[in-house]
Amino acid sequence: MVESSTYRVESGATYWFTGLSGAGKSTLSEAVKARLDKETGDANKVFILDGDLIRMGLNKGLGFTEADRTENIRRIAEVSKLFNMAGQIVFVAFISPYAGGRDFAKQCHAESGLKFFEGHISASLEVCEARDVKGLYKKARAGVIPKFTGISDPYEEPTNPALNVNTGALSLEAATSVVIKHMLEEGVLAHTSAPRVCAGLTRAATEAENAAAAAAPFVEIDEHQAQYLQTIGDGWAFPLTAFMNEIQLVESIQMHTVTDKTGKRHLLSVPITMHVNSAKKAEIGAAKLVAIKWNGEIVATISDPVFFENRKEEICARTFGCFRADHAGAGPIMAQGEWLISGSSMHFMKRVLFNDGMDKYRYTPKEIHEKTVAMGADAVYAFQVRNPLHNGHCLLLADTRE
């Protein structure tokens, strides 16, 4: 019998645990991993990078000079970023004594839009020395080990860490619960019994990203495509994070589902695609980046664009049961270009606005969730109507409230 899981991993994240030798960085990381392995039902969602492991392999040739320690941290930052990009939770358990190195790690994650949390494992020097089973502090005080952090080499404490966990005052179980609580609050984890609330995908572009987008070939989309762009970017089309690729489109029109990266299928019967004509396809050519413009403004980009045939009649027949050009749903599809475009990823740089007086009511799932929490609502009933409220709707709303 397989036990049901308590949590699901919602996104990759890097937890950078810094602190003196013996503070409990690796011990806490291992305890959180053990709990998450059990309560997510997956032993491959969490990975730990600690000093002993890395210095035996990746950073074997580095010593303990300030320059070597800086390079050590730089490499770890890049490795942790890769795990994070793959959707894993990675714990970095390093003394990392210098604020500059930790700031670099934070910045390189921020540039890629990845979650990064600095955690100060803040057990006191006295507690750390009392735990010193290897006798490292004793050797450092005797001068046997030079440049030992906290004794003969400085340790720059974080000034504003995301987490401050004093393992000298907390039990291991309590410290583990502090980290789990933070993961739930930051959307790294979610209770499996809780409804999924998708965060929007929009992330403000850096100066370099804006420059790259401005230099790339572009596609000016129409209102229909802008509505689809908004649907994905605001988080309403989970698990989509970009316009459908060919496999996702085929699954959607044939099975009315889209499979996420874990292999789970989600109901999604609407073909959310982006089209171009043959002339635009030729113009884009082998470009590695394509900008998407709405009302003359760049709102998103597609990386590593891929084109595939826009089989309009098949899409309409499967979706609407017909492919008549005068059908309200089929008409816009039949008027599209000959090609559909997707890519390895998309960057949603700005939220799509329609400037029709209704933008202030177009909330993301997360914004709606926050409003219902603020209202203290036990349940929310939503009605979508395509015409003004009439008595039937009013009765329905009244009965629901009652």
Half-sphere exposure of 224 (CA within 13 A, CB side): 14
Burial class (CB in 10 A: 0-12, 13-18, 19+), 4: exposed
Question: What DSSP state is assigned to residue 214?
Answer: H
Q: What's the farthest any 2 CA atoms get from each other in the chain?
A: 88
With H, G, I as helix, E, B as strand and everything else as coil, classify residue 143: coil
Backbone angles phi, psi at 157, to 5 degrees: -65, 145
Judge whether 11 counts as a catalytic residue: no
- CA–CA gap between residue 118 and residue 274 (Å, rounded): 39
Q: Which of these is catalytic: 21, 80, 96, 252?
A: 96
Question: What DSSP state is assigned to residue 159?
Answer: S
Lookup: tokens for 352: 């799509």
Beta-strand runs (E) in 205-288: 218-220, 257-259, 265-267, 275-276
Q: Are 58 and 157 in contact (CB under 8 A)?
A: no
Whether the bond into 158 is cis, omega within 30 of 0: no
With H, G, I as helix, E, B as strand and everything else as coil, classify residue 67: helix
Q: Which amino acid, 303?
A: S
Q: Are 349 and 204 in contact (CB under 8 A)?
A: yes
Question: What DSSP state is assigned to residue 351?
Answer: -
Catalytic residues: 96
